[in-house]
Amino acid sequence: MMFKVHPIRHIIIIAVIVVVLFPVLWIFTTSIRRDNSSISPDLFSGQTTWQNYIDLIFEKPNVPLLYNDIANIYSLGSPYNKMSDKEILNALNGDFNAYEGYFKSTYQMSNSITSNASWISVNFIPKAKSLAIESVKENSGADLRYISIVSSDLGAKFNSLDKNYKMAGLVDLLNSLKSSPDSDVIILGEYFPEITQSWNNYKDSMSKAASALSNVPGNVSEILLESGIDNQMAKDLVNAYEETLNSLKNGTFTYGNWFAPIYLRRINMDTINLSNTVGSTNAAKLQNIKSMVFSTVQNVNSAFSSYDQSLSNAISKAQVAKNLLLSTLQSSLTTLSNNYNSLQNQLSTMTASAVSYLGAMSYDASQISIFSNNIVPTAMALDNMVSLVKSIISQSKPSTQSGVFYDVSSYISQAKEWISISSKYSLFDPITKQVQRILDDLNYIQNNQSIIYANMNSNAIANVRTSLPFVLLKLQSGLSMSIPVLQNYDMNAQKYKNISEEIPNIRKQIAEISSQIGPIQQEINSINDKISISSLYFATLKYSRVIDREAKQINSFESAGAFLNDLNKYYSTLQNSNIYSQLPPMPSSSRYDQFFNTQKLIDTVNLTIQTGISLNKFTDQYSYYISHLKDRSKDYVNINVLGFPFSVNEINSINNLYQNQYVSTIGPNLGIISRRTNELAGLPYFKEISGKLGSINNTSYYITQIWMQKYIPPLMRWLLNSIIVSGSAAVITVFLSALMAYPFSRLRFRGRKYGLIGILLIQMFPTMMAMVALYLLLNFIGKFFPFLGLNTLGGLTFLYIGGGIAFNSWLIKGFFDTIPMELEEAAMVDGATRYQTFWRIILPLSAPVLAVTMILGFIGNYGDYILASIVMTGLNNYTFAVGLQTFSTGAYSTNWGLMTTAALIGMIPILVLFLSLQRFIVGGLTQGSVKG
């Protein structure tokens, strides 16, 4: 097939390769990720580490694992229970040395993050703050412009509203003023001049009071000085007066904040106390000043009260306006919805009872169908009897003899009653028909009593007379037992009918009410919309004043924060209102990011410094306990080895320390620091310190690697097990198979053909099928040869050999067949024996092929999961395949870092072997395929 190579082919192939190799790429990138990839929203991460590889390959225990080990040593768990005290001490000392190393590096790293953080805090943060302030100033213009646009937009909408709506919109603003009075009352001037008036009065009264009291502190201190009193109390009294004066001057005075804490507790008490020591004249002066101040302040308070009163009046007025708009509608809506709800309840009750009636009816109907089994045969029997009677009577002559054949009147009335009910329901038609037949028959008997009686001498009629009572008895039992059921059915059916007639009516009423509710609701909504325009307008008026003022006053990081805080409040008010969508779009939300990120930087740096300090303290304590243990280790170990189980308190203390300090705070904080510094380091305006941030990020990650609780499985052991088992099985299999193949290829003997067919058949029987047998077999062999038993490497190797021989013999026989016979014949002429030709000629010639077969066998055994999982039950005896499964189940299944690392470590040797042998594999396959 010779086509021109079009670029599209390359593109297709490359696209396919990308898709096909994506899982491999994913495995690799996930194995070097630092974050928890099983919950991260990103497919890949820029934060990488080789920690997983280090953990799995070197299996170096970190601090918690060391802790587990020493705890195990002191409780003499396995394997330490079998060691001598010297060995135990050696192990302990090894652990202690490792601890020392970890402490040392923890101090180093902790100091490094602290010093980096302090450097940033000293050398960069002031600069960053001023830059952040600049950026806020720069961007604030856009917000002020936006607010003025919104305010004029809202103003236009607001002006077209009726007065009541305008009023109603004031409720929110007035309430907010009520809780925190401020100068923004000016905006109320148009609607409530009295509020503005009283506010101004209040302000005035404050400034008047301030001027009236301006000399008070000076006077008081003079009086006290005159009396020679210069103690703390005197100072405090002067201070109290100064505070009072200042709050009046600043206009921040409130009576509630003044009266109890300043006046009662300090001015009043101190004046009384000091009066005893200053002499009567001065005491009187002090008393006068006190009462003067009190009365002045009372004036201020009364001004505030009148302001507060006018505010309350305004609130009630606005509330009245709002009610005027809404109350009628609201109350009619409430009535309607109450009706609606009660109707709905009624409907659901009725539906439920209708369903229950239906259920009872169907139950009764099924009962009646059971009784029909009693009635129908009766009808037939009675029919037969009556027709017998009829036929006889028709032949007989009329007789005047009178007598009663059999009185059936009670049955007739029963049957009539039956029919009277059942005929109402077509459901019972078939059985009604039967009862009708019975009734007809009975009527016939009743009407012809005498004539039948006259024919009593006929055998047939006599027979009928004898059996009739039995039939009637049966009939009676059927009818009498079913009549109550029928009546019940009838009753339920009536009720059901009544209800099902009622239900549509209620449905109609419900529909009517809901059609009424709709418009009212709509009206209420539209009124609410208008009110919300008004209230948003006032909010805008208020906020725009505040924000304007704050924007002009931005001169520090905190004032910028206050500005942003109010801006944010206003924007969220806007976004929460239901007319937000009709307003012009907001400026982009990320324009103050620099400020917020600077804030985050400050927080992070502080957290880092704090964490560094507490980490050092924690390490101090931890190493203190360890040094304790180290000093006493010999005694502790000896006591333990002598067989007296001995609990070591330090072990518990260490665990408590670790849980209380590291697990609860330091560890999580280090995680936060690492994540935040990573985010911040990428920002353009922190480029200068990105190196420092990166160092903090890495260092805190490595600190957590030392201290966090980890699970490190014995992966290298598993890998080694796999290699030993697969490798030795492959070598032995190929050697035995070559031996087996040789006679089949070179010799002709009895049984050769059946042997070959047998081998062919055997290799078709999958080893899997014989698992039960193999399991029991290994169990059995293990009793005599423990190294070949269950849960041993030998046993698994043995199984792999058994599974591979048949197939490999067949394969190798094929190879041997391709080696020309002449070589051996020549050798044999030279005096070589058969065995020598095999050993010296055939084997060397086919060595490369055998090697490839061996490697393929190795790969095959390595990939076995199921046999290994059945045979190997001890954690240390797992093969790689079984071990890998433990990563993917249970508690560790979300630790994708370890799992993918283990997968990669396990796949690389095989991948390399396979790809370097692909020439043979591919060649062998194509040869085989083309040969056919």
Partner 1 sequence: MVKKAILWILVALIDAILGWSITLLFIDGSYALGVIVILLLVFIDYALINPKGYPFRYMLPALIILMILTVYPIYFTFQIAFENYATGYMWTRDQAINILLDKVVISPNPKFFNYSVYTLYKDYKPTNDFVLLLKDPDGKLYIASSPQPSNGRYTSSFEMLTNGSVSINGITYSIVRSLKDPSQIIAISVNGENYNYFYSPSDQSTFPNLKFFNSNYGSILSNTEFVNPEIGTLFFTTTYGFNKLVTAKYEYTLSTMPVIENGHQIQKTVLINTLTGQPVLEHDSAFWDIDPSTGKQTMIIGYYGYIGLGNFSSLLTNKQIMSPFLSVFVWTFEWAALSVIFTFSVGLILAIVLNNRNMKFRTIYRTLLIIPWAIPGFISIIMFRVGFFNVSFGIINRIFLGEWLHLPPINWFGDAFWAKVALFLVNTWLGFPYMMVISLGALQSIPDDLYEAASIDGSSKWHSFWTITFPLLMTPLAPLLIASFAYNFNNFNVIYLLTGGSPPIPNSITPAGQTDILISYTYNLAFGGASGRNYGLAAAISILIFVIIATISAINFKLSGSFEEVNK
Do the Cβ atoms of 535 and 171 come closer than 8 Å? Answer: yes
User: Which residue in the set 460, 761, 821, 875 belongs to the binding site for partner 1 (CB under 8 A)?
Assistant: 761
Decide if residue 644 touches partner 1 (CB under 8 A). Answer: no
User: Which residue in the set 106, 151, 737, 901 belongs to the binding site for partner 1 (CB under 8 A)?
Assistant: 737
- The rounded Cα 526 to chain-centroid distance in angstroms is 40
Do the Cβ atoms of 326 and 279 come closer than 8 Å? Answer: no
Do the Cβ atoms of 639 and 90 come closer than 8 Å? Answer: no
Decide if residue 21 touches partner 1 (CB under 8 A). Answer: yes
DSSP secondary structure string for all residues of 81-119: GGS-HHHHHHHHHHHHHHHHHHHHHHHHHHHHHHHHHHH
Stretch that binds partner 1, among 16-24, 248-256, 438-446, 627-635 (CB under 8 A): 16-24
Structure tokens given for 696: 């903090």
Decide if residue 764 touches partner 1 (CB under 8 A). Answer: yes
Decide if residue 25 touches partner 1 (CB under 8 A). Answer: no
Cβ at position 55, least distance to partner 1 in Å:
19
User: Which residue in the set 141, 348, 753, 825 belongs to the binding site for partner 1 (CB under 8 A)?
Assistant: 753
Name the residue nearer to partner 1 (CB basis): 30 or 677. 30
Tokens 């006068």: give the residue.
288
User: Which residue in the set 3, 394, 581, 684 belongs to the binding site for partner 1 (CB under 8 A)?
Assistant: 3
Nearest to 266 by CA among 240, 290, 229, 295: 240
Stretch that binds partner 1, among 83-91, 215-223, 392-400, 731-739 (CB under 8 A): 731-739
In sequence order, the 6+-apart residues with CB closer than 8 A to the CB of 922 are none
Cβ at position 870, least distance to partner 1 in Å:
7
SS3 assignment, position 924: helix
Decide if residue 370 touches partner 1 (CB under 8 A). Answer: no
Q: How far apart are CA 498 and CA 504, in angstroms?
A: 11
Stretch that binds partner 1, among 99-107, 140-148, 352-360, 763-771 (CB under 8 A): 763-771
Q: How far apart are CA 197 and CA 670, in angstroms?
A: 58
Name the residue nearer to partner 1 (CB basis): 495 or 834. 834
Cβ at position 748, least distance to partner 1 in Å:
9
Do the Cβ atoms of 33 and 47 come closer than 8 Å? Answer: yes
Residue 695 CA neighbour count, 13 Å, CB half: 15
Name the residue nearer to partner 1 (CB basis): 10 or 549. 10
177-184, Cβ contacts within 8 angstroms, sequence gap of 24 or more? 177/311, 178/308, 178/311, 178/312, 178/315, 181/304, 181/307, 181/308, 181/311, 184/541, 184/542, 184/545, 184/546
Cβ at position 795, least distance to partner 1 in Å:
11
Alpha helices in 160-192 (DSSP H): 163-168, 170-179
Decide if residue 881 touches partner 1 (CB under 8 A). Answer: yes
Nearest to 706 by CA among 658, 765, 644: 658
Decide if residue 866 touches partner 1 (CB under 8 A). Answer: yes
Name the residue nearer to partner 1 (CB basis): 1 or 829. 1
Decide if residue 885 touches partner 1 (CB under 8 A). Answer: yes
Decide if residue 483 touches partner 1 (CB under 8 A). Answer: no
SS3 assignment, position 528: helix
Decide if residue 760 touches partner 1 (CB under 8 A). Answer: yes
Stretch that binds partner 1, among 105-113, 241-249, 449-457, 882-890 (CB under 8 A): 882-890
User: Phi/psi of residue 405, each to 5°?
Assistant: -75, -60
Name the residue nearer to partner 1 (CB basis): 4 or 397. 4
Cβ at position 817, least distance to partner 1 in Å:
7
Show the site string, 765-784: x = touches partner 1 by CB under 8 A, - = not: xx-xxxxxxx-xx--x---x
Stretch that binds partner 1, among 217-225, 453-461, 570-578, 893-901 (CB under 8 A): 893-901
In sequence order, the 6+-apart residues with CB closer than 8 A to the CB of 927 are none
How many chain residues interact with partner 1 (CB under 8 A)? 99
Cβ at position 760, least distance to partner 1 in Å:
7
Cβ at position 761, least distance to partner 1 in Å:
7
Q: How far apart are CA 386 and CA 451, in angstroms?
A: 13
Name the residue nearer to partner 1 (CB basis): 762 or 847. 762
Name the residue nearer to partner 1 (CB basis): 404 or 776. 776
Cβ at position 722, least distance to partner 1 in Å:
10
Residues 517-536 that bind partner 1 (CB under 8 A): none
Q: How far apart are CA 817 and CA 849, in angstroms?
A: 13
Name the residue nearer to partner 1 (CB basis): 350 or 771. 771
Cβ at position 930, least distance to partner 1 in Å:
5
Q: How far apart are the first and last CA of the chain?
A: 22
Residue 607 CA neighbour count, 13 Å, CB half: 22
Name the residue nearer to partner 1 (CB basis): 26 or 453. 26
Decide if residue 39 touches partner 1 (CB under 8 A). Answer: yes
DSSP secondary structure string for all residues of 557-625: HHHHHHHHHHHHHHHHHHHHSTTGGGSPPPPPGGGGHHHHHHHHHHHHHHHHHHHHHHHHHHHHHHHHH
Residue type present at position 568: N
Cβ at position 694, least distance to partner 1 in Å:
27
What are the angstrom distances between the C-alpha of 582 and each of 150, 523, 575, 652?
10, 19, 11, 65
Q: How far apart are CA 802 and CA 816, in angstroms?
A: 22
Decide if residue 20 touches partner 1 (CB under 8 A). Answer: yes
In sequence order, the 6+-apart residues with CB closer than 8 A to the CB of 919 are none
Name the residue nearer to partner 1 (CB basis): 2 or 829. 2
Decide if residue 352 touches partner 1 (CB under 8 A). Answer: no
Decide if residue 837 touches partner 1 (CB under 8 A). Answer: no
Decide if residue 899 touches partner 1 (CB under 8 A). Answer: yes
Residues 40-59 that bind partner 1 (CB under 8 A): 41-43
User: Phi/psi of residue 33, each to 5°?
Assistant: -75, 150
Residues 419-448 that bind partner 1 (CB under 8 A): none
Decide if residue 930 touches partner 1 (CB under 8 A). Answer: yes
Buried b (16+ CB within 10 A) or exposed e, 391-403: ebbeeeeeeeeee
User: Which residue in the set 159, 397, 749, 829 belongs to the binding site for partner 1 (CB under 8 A)?
Assistant: 749
User: Which residue in the set 838, 853, 871, 878 belongs to the binding site for partner 1 (CB under 8 A)?
Assistant: 838
Structure tokens given for 765: 């029987």
SS3 assignment, position 841: helix
Stretch that binds partner 1, among 64-72, 408-416, 634-642, 760-768 (CB under 8 A): 760-768
Cβ at position 762, least distance to partner 1 in Å:
5
Nearest to 63 by CA among 109, 34, 106: 106
Decide if residue 894 touches partner 1 (CB under 8 A). Answer: yes
User: Which residue in the set 9, 497, 507, 508 belongs to the binding site for partner 1 (CB under 8 A)?
Assistant: 9
Decide if residue 16 touches partner 1 (CB under 8 A). Answer: yes
Tokens 């948003």: give the residue.
536
Decide if residue 862 touches partner 1 (CB under 8 A). Answer: yes
Stretch that binds partner 1, among 188-196, 346-354, 357-365, 924-932 (CB under 8 A): 924-932
Decide if residue 888 touches partner 1 (CB under 8 A). Answer: yes
Structure tokens given for 884: 């890998």
Residues 797-826 that bind partner 1 (CB under 8 A): 798-799, 801-803, 805-806, 809, 814, 817
Name the DSSP class of 397. Answer: P
Cβ at position 710, least distance to partner 1 in Å:
19
Cβ at position 76, least distance to partner 1 in Å:
19
Do the Cβ atoms of 442 and 412 come closer than 8 Å? Answer: yes
User: Which residue in the set 317, 591, 834, 840 belongs to the binding site for partner 1 (CB under 8 A)?
Assistant: 834
